[in-house]
Structure 1
Amino acid sequence: MKQDLLLTATEMERDGIAQFDGLAADRVNVQVIGVGLVAAAIHTMQALQRFQPARVIVAGIAGRFGRADGLNDAGDLNDGTDLDAATDVPQHAHWFRRLALDGIGVGQADQFLDPQDLGWDFAGKGTRNVDCALPCPVDQVTGLADGYLLSVCAASASAEEAQWRQQRFPGAVAEDMESYAVVKACQAFDVPVFVLRGYSNSVGHRDHASWKIQPALQSIASQLQWFWKTC
């Protein structure tokens, strides 16, 4: 029987998810694919060839878009998260069914134009958006994002840059650096892929000392526990 494949960008995320019992050792291979779109694409394809999994889950931390400036007065998460009814863990993680890509194109900041703006064929389909699978029918999924995940070549460095991206992608809920590449690689191999991201910080907030990494990883683990039992 084929196992699932769980992918994280870093060893820290892998170990943190394991710490909170988010892994089903008898059902899943866990691989670290590196930070960024290029590393993620290469190592995902290598893992797909090596393990030939039944399904792929990419999981890890991400920044969450908040209000217009992405921050509250303390520069912290401004997301109104609720407690997970089953675990009393803050709901800092979501499954995503839509992704978009930003950062490939011409120019920077206000002069930036992506391939779609330039009329080029984007990723072979003329669009910067991609759909991915859900772990279960939509009405059964807990923690489903109501917007999409924006994968970027370089994360937003300030509240101003976060606001600029949010204006260009008003449906974006969160920002990461790997998921779009993982989804495209899995689609090339015709393998179902699921995207799960936990929110450690507001987009553009770079003070790592105040990031909520452990709550984000704990919420990811809680979602994965549900996944292994339900799907």
Structure 2
Amino acid sequence: DVYKRQALALATAPADEPYALVVSAGIGGGFAPAAPVGSLAVATRIVAADLGAETPDGFVPVTGLGFGRDTFLPPEALVRDVAEATGAVPGPVLTVSTVTGSAARTAELLAAHPGAVAEAMEGFGVAEAADRFGVPALELRAVSNTVGPRDREAWRIGDALAALTEAFGKTAPVVESWTRHDRLDRHRD
């Protein structure tokens, strides 16, 4: 299980050099027109969009039920710098347990999460694991398909993976610079 491996990696980091950041990166669906196929999205908020309960009055997020959290906030300056370096569209990235496959569900998600740019299935779990170890998380997605009615012919997984690979090259220096700065700040406190 990928989340167990991530948690284990965080738990076994050397005490003298703990992780400064966890990055969740992959492909996902983009909400049109904000994040078209082939674009990149970087999360300003990592949101568990369907964690909660369905009630006669509609969906109630886990926070409305009185437990847990449903949102993580990546470091604002890092999001800005990654967006600038890669051309990624900044905005909320939704973690869903079922990929959206209809216009109605797309509309529901956008009504509940205005400004959402992408959906994927891993970001919130990664952010949750990172948070348990006091490490911030960043989520970067390359858009392989449009969120909405499923149209496998329109998916561009290869193009999205190529865009993600290119984004890694541009993201690495930003993250390395940020983590060095962050570590210096933490040592001054």
> Which residue does 1:138 correspond to in 2?
80
> Which residue does 1:55 correspond to in 2?
21
> Which residue does 1:112 correspond to in 2?
59
User: What is the Cα deviation at residue 50 of structure 1?
Assistant: 4.1
What is the TM-score when the length of structure 2 is the normalising length? 0.74
1:47-70 CA deviation, whole Å, 9 max, x = no partner? 323455443221111111115xxx
User: Contact (CA 8 Å) 1:100, 1:151: kept in 2 or not?
Assistant: yes
User: Contact (CA 8 Å) 2:41, 2:90: kept in 1 or not?
Assistant: no
What is the letter of the counterpart of residue 48 of structure 1? L
1:93-121 CA deviation, whole Å, 9 max, x = no partner? 12223111122222279732223344x13
Q: How far apart are the structure 1 equivalents of 2:164 and 2:43?
A: 13
Which of 155, 162, 165 lines up with 2:109 in the alignment?
165
User: Contact (CA 8 Å) 2:35, 2:41: kept in 1 or not?
Assistant: no
User: What is the Cα deviation at residue 179 of structure 1?
Assistant: 0.3
Q: How far apart are the structure 1 equivalents of 2:115 and 2:5?
A: 29
| Long gaps (5+) in structure 2 | 177-189
User: Contact (CA 8 Å) 1:57, 1:193: kept in 2 or not?
Assistant: yes
| Long gaps (5+) in structure 1 | 1-31, 34-39, 68-77, 82-89
Aligned residues: 169
Which of 122, 126, 139 lines up with 2:68 in the alignment?
122
RMSD: 2.8
> Which residue does 1:154 correspond to in 2?
98
**For the structure 1 residues 139 and 178, does the alpha-carbon distance in structure 2 shift closer, same or farther, using more than 3 Å as the test?**
closer
Q: Percent of aligned pairs with the same residue? A: 27
> Which residue does 1:20 correspond to in 2?
none
Q: How far apart are the structure 2 equivalents of 1:221 and 1:134?
A: 23
1:137-165 CA deviation, whole Å, 9 max, x = no partner? 73573234332111112221212211111
What is the letter of the counterpart of residue 224 of structure 1? F
Q: How far apart are the structure 2 equivalents of 1:196 and 1:137?
A: 9
* Residues 1:98 and 2:98 aligned together: no
User: What is the Cα deviation at residue 168 of structure 1?
Assistant: 1.3
What is the letter of the counterpart of residue 179 of structure 1? G
